[in-house]
Every structure is written in C-alpha cells, then in structure tokens.
Structure 1
Amino acid sequence: MAEAYMLIQTEVGRAEVVAKQVAALPGVLSSEYVTGPYDVVVRIGGNNAEDLAANIAPSVQQVTGITRTLTCPIADAD
C-alpha cells in the first residue's frame, strides 16, 4: 500500500467544508482542517504510487474550493 499526505490551500472560508467533502472520497484515510500556510491536511492511501497519482489525488483536486495542493508521498508506509 502506498500513502501520501496532501497539503491543501482553499478559497477563504472554505477549509471546513472542503475537509468534510474530501473525507468522503474513496482512498482518503483522514482529512483535517488546520491553521497555517495550508488549510486542510489529508492522508490518502492506495494500492501503489500509480494509484495515488492517477486516481486518488486527482479526485481530491476536483473538490470545489481547492486552489492549490501539494502531495507528499510517505517514504516508509507499512
């Protein structure tokens, strides 16, 4: 299994709504809205790195209100 963190910036005032919408998507293991330079931190998981890049990350990026994402694969996901 491959996992990654996605750091998400949202439109002003949309962090909580985005976090809840993202949490309902397949492959999302956790979704929290936070303070700081990013608004939402998401942990995603899939069968392999290709699954993360081709299916799960793009589905997260399609959520309305997201302005930018940064995907950080976990180096040692057991």
Structure 2
Amino acid sequence: MVQAYILIQTDMGRAGDVSAACAEIDGVVSAEDVTGGYDVIVKVEANTVDELGKLVLAKIQKVQGIVRTQTCTVVHV
C-alpha cells in the first residue's frame, strides 16, 4: 500500500469546495481545508506508485479550483 499527502493551493475562496470534491474521490482517505502555505491537504492510498500517480493526475488535479498540487509520498507506514 502506498500513502501520500497531496498539498493543494486553490483559487481564492475555493478551499471548501475543493476539499469536499476531493473527499468524494475513490482512494482519498481524508481531505481537509487548512491554513498556511496550502489551502487543502488530502491523504490518499493506492496499491502501487503507478496507481497513485494516476489518482493524482486523472482525478485530483481535475477538480475545479485547484491551482497547484504537491505530492508528498509517505516513506514509512
């Protein structure tokens, strides 16, 4: 199992919408709007690194209101 945190910057005022939309995606464990350098932090799980990449590229980055993402893969579970 591969886990990662996706750090997301959103358009102004869209953090709540983005976190709600991400929470509905299969593979997303949690999605929270936060304060600081990023607007939303999403925790995801996938079976392989390849599946993780597909989840981020094909699903999460397609959510309306996302400006930028940074994927932080968990190295020890």
Q: Under a length normalisation based on structure 1, what TM-score does the superposition of the two structures give? A: 0.95
Q: How many residues align?
A: 76
Q: Which residue of 1 aligns with 2:72?
A: 72
RMSD: 0.6
Can you give the 5+ residue segments of structure 2 that lack an aligned partner in the other structure?
none
The alignment-based identity, stated in percent, is: 43
Q: Distance in 1 between matches of 2:41 and 2:55?
A: 15
Structure 1 unaligned spans of 5+:
none
| Distance across 1 between alignment mates of 2:70 and 2:28 | 15
* Matching residue of 1:38: 38
Give the 4+ runs in structure 1 shifted more than 2 A.
none
> What per-residue deviation string (whole Å, max 9, x for no partner) do you get for residues 32-74 of structure 1?
0000110000001000111101x21111010000000000000
